[in-house]
A = this chain, B = another copy of it.
C-alpha cells in the first residue's frame, strides 16, 4: 500500500473514532449557502470561512472557476438542497496565473505518447440549457484575480437556471494572510434582484 493511502486511511480511522453524532446531520446545508473556490492545497474553506460539517456546500476546481460543471453543482445546490447565497472565492498566488493554454499544450505534447493533444487545450461546453453570455474554453487560466472573480460572478448571474434572488458574493483569499478580500465589482454584479 502506498504511504499516502496508508496515511489517509489512518487519519480516517481517527476521524471515525471521534465522529460523534454527525451521522444524524441532514442532507441540506444547515446554513443555506455555497462556496465555489479553488482546489489549491493551501486553502481550507471550512477553516477560512468557519464551516462545521453540515453547514454549506463547497465546490472546488482549478481556479475556483465558474465552469459549466460548477454551475451544474450550484443549480443543484439551490434547486434540490435549498441554498440561498453563494460565494465565488479565488485566491492570490494561484497556479492558474502561472501558465497559459499554449504552455499547457506544449507540456502535454512533450510528455504524452498519444498525439491527441493540441495547443488549443481544454474546451468547456456551453451548449446546455440556460446558456450564458461569454463562452468559456480551454484551461480557464487567470491573468487577474479581480477580473476572474468578476467574470465568474457575471457568468453565474447570467445563467438562466440561476434564480435572480440569490446574491453572489465575490472575494479573493489572500494566500499570505488568510484574509478574504471583497471584489466590490463582482459583488455588485452578483446582487440579487
Query: From A96, which residue of chain B is reached at the shortest CB distance?
Result: B76
Q: How far is the CB of A29 from chain B (nearest CB, A)?
A: 4
A40 sits at the interface (CB 8 A): yes
CB-nearest residue of chain B relative to A26? B42
Count of chain A residues near B, Cβ 8 A: 98
Question: Per-residue CB proximity of A74-107 to B under 8 Å, as 1/0?
Answer: 0111011100010100000101101100001001
Q: List, in ascending order, chain B residues with CB within 8 A of A73's CB.
A: 39, 61-62
Q: Give bound CA distance, A175 to B161, whole Å.
A: 29
Docked Cα-Cα span, A28 to B177, in Å, equals 18
- Whether B98 and A50, one on each chain, are in contact in the complex, defined by CB atoms closer than 8 angstroms, is no
Q: Does A183 count as interface, using CB distance less than 8 angstroms?
A: no
A129 touches which one: B117, B167, B179 (CB < 8 A)?
Answer: B117
Q: A70 is contacted by which of B54, B56, B69 (Cβ under 8 Å)?
A: B69
State whether A122 touches B68 (Cβ < 8 A): yes
Closest to A55 in B: B41
Return chain B residues, CB-CB under 8 Å to A99. Answer: 80
Complex: how many Å from CA A160 to CA B115? 9
In the complex with contacts A2-B85, A79-B104, A79-B108, A19-B127 CB distance below 8 A: no
Q: How far is the CA of A49 from the CA of B4 in the complex (A)?
A: 10
Q: Are B50 and A178 in contact (CB under 8 A)?
A: no
Smallest beta-carbon distance A106→chain B, Å:
11
Given A77-B62, A108-B79, A116-B160: A53 and B44 interface contact (C-beta under 8 Å): yes
Contacts A12-B48, A61-B69 given; indicate if A27 touches B95 (C-beta within 8 A).
yes
A67 within 8 A of B: yes
Answer whether residue A184 sits at the interface, using C-beta atoms and an 8 A cutoff: no
Of residues 30 through 57 on chain A, the ones whose CB sits less than 8 Å from some CB of chain B are 30-34, 39-44, 46-51, 53-57
